[in-house]
């Protein structure tokens, strides 16, 4: 069994990105900038954003966190995004989710310039990704994709089963694996026999938010199992996969924590650099 060490793979990716940033600095006399908008004081969001900033600085990016109380008016956020869209020192814009109920998530996402949309959530990027055109790719599925490719470079004809159909993970994950010529099944809460679907899979990506849902007898021997879940339970943080038992069957598996999480942040930095490079050639 291969334990997919996301921490190590993300550290390697950050090292490459750091080198790239220093080359870009020489070439363009400036560095990519990431602006993050954080609304309210939800603890997980605060932690994510802090980690994002720490990593951004580590690779040499310019990082800027803009904080608002959860009572902030929607217009203030839309105006700020408009300002960041026009700011040449800002390569990438991320609005940390979830948002307070009085702010329309769709309006906020659509306000971000698609060329600065480091999350890949703008409908233009979603459409481009599903059409197989150049697009920004959401960070978590991109991180999962890189981990899978790290284990198996040729995915032609592999059967991939994705658990969860969210815009953040499940749907873009399916697009990335389709591009690699996998046969992709997206499953969800209404799927009739999830165990049977998983048992047929060469690759399982669990991104559903149910603690230890995926069991040992759901997984074919030699399958690759990617666990996107981060669930708080009495016994601490666990994924969507029952790691202890599934790791006895799988060919390769990501731990939680230390699997997908570090890759998500590294991919955010990668996307910020990507936005910067595209803006320089336009």
Which residues are annotated as catalytic? 52, 96, 119
- Please count the other Cβ atoms lying within 10 Å of the Cβ belonging to residue 248: 12
Cβ nearer to ligand GUN, comparing 119 with 197: 119
Span near ligand GUN by CB under 6 A; candidates 94-102, 213-221, 239-247, 249-257? 94-102
Taking CB under 6 A as the binding criterion, the range among 21-29, 73-81, 90-98, 152-160 that sits at the site for ligand GUN is: 90-98
Tell me how far, at minimum, the Cβ of 228 lies from ligand GUN, in Å: 10
**Nearer residue to ligand GUN within complex by CB, 223 or 273:** 273
For 16, the token pair is 């490459």
Side-chain-side CA neighbours of 251 within 13 Å: the count stands at: 13
Question: What are the C-alpha distances in Å from 137 to residues 3, 59, 176, 211?
Answer: 25, 20, 9, 26
What is the DSSP secondary-structure string of 111-177? HS-GGGBTT--SHHHHHHHHHTSS----HHHHHHHHHHHHH-S--TT-EEEEE---TTTHHHHHHHH
Is position 94 an interface residue for ligand GUN (rule: CB under 6 A)? yes
17 binds ligand GUN (CB under 6 A): no
Q: Which is nearer to ligand GUN, 97 or 210 (CB)?
A: 97
Is residue 208 within 8 Å of 229, Cβ to Cβ? yes
Q: By CB under 6 A, what part of segment 110-139 binds ligand GUN?
A: 119, 139
* CB closest to ligand GUN, residue no: 97
Please choose, out of 81-89, 91-99, 215-223, 231-239, the segment that lies near ligand GUN by the rule CB under 6 A: 91-99
Contact between 9 and ligand GUN by CB under 6 A: the answer reads no
The span from the CA of 36 to the CA of 25, in Å, is: 21
272 binds ligand GUN (CB under 6 A): no
Q: Kindly state whether residue 240 participates in binding ligand GUN, applying the rule CB under 6 A.
A: no
Residue 80, CA distances (Å) to 30, 97, 111, 273 in order = 23, 16, 10, 22
Name which of 14 and 122 has its Cβ closer to ligand GUN: 122
Count, residues near ligand GUN per rule CB under 6 A = 8
Q: How far apart are CA 147 and CA 6, in angstroms?
A: 7
Interface pick for ligand GUN out of 91, 96, 128, 247 (rule CB under 6 A): 96
Q: Which residues bind ligand GUN (CB under 6 A)?
A: 94-97, 119, 139-140, 168
């Amino acid at each position: 069994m291969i334990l997919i060490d996301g921490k190590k793979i993300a550290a390697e990716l950050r090292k490459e990105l750091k080198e790239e940033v220093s080359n870009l600095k020489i070439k363009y006399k400036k560095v990519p900038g990431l602006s993050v908008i954080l609304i309210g004081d939800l603890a997980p969001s605060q932690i994510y954003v802090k980690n994002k900033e720490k990593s951004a600085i580590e690779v040499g990016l310019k990082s800027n966190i803009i904080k608002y109380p959860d009572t902030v008016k929607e217009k203030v956020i839309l105006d700020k995004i408009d300002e960041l869209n026009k700011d040449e020192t800002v390569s990438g814009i991320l609005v940390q989710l979830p948002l307070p109920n009085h702010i329309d998530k769709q309006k906020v996402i659509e306000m971000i310039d698609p060329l600065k949309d480091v999350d890949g959530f703008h409908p233009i990027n979603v459409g481009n990704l599903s059409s197989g055109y150049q697009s920004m790719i959401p960070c978590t599925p991109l991180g999962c994709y890189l981990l899978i490719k790290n284990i198996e470079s040729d995915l032609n004809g592999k059967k991939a089963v994705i658990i969860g159909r969210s815009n953040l993970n499940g749907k873009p994950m399916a697009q990335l694996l389709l591009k690699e010529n996998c046969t992709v099944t997206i499953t969800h809460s209404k799927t009739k026999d999830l165990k049977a679907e998983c048992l047929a899979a060469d690759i399982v990506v669990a991104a559903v938010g149910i603690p230890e849902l995926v069991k040992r007898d759901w997984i074919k021997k030699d399958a690759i199992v990617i666990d996107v879940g981060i669930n708080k339970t009495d016994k601490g943080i666990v994924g969507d996969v029952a790691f202890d038992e599934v790791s006895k069957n799988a060919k390769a598996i990501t731990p939680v924590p230390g699997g997908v999480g570090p890759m998500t942040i590294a991919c955010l930095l990668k996307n910020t650099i990507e936005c910067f490079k595209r803006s320089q050639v336009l």
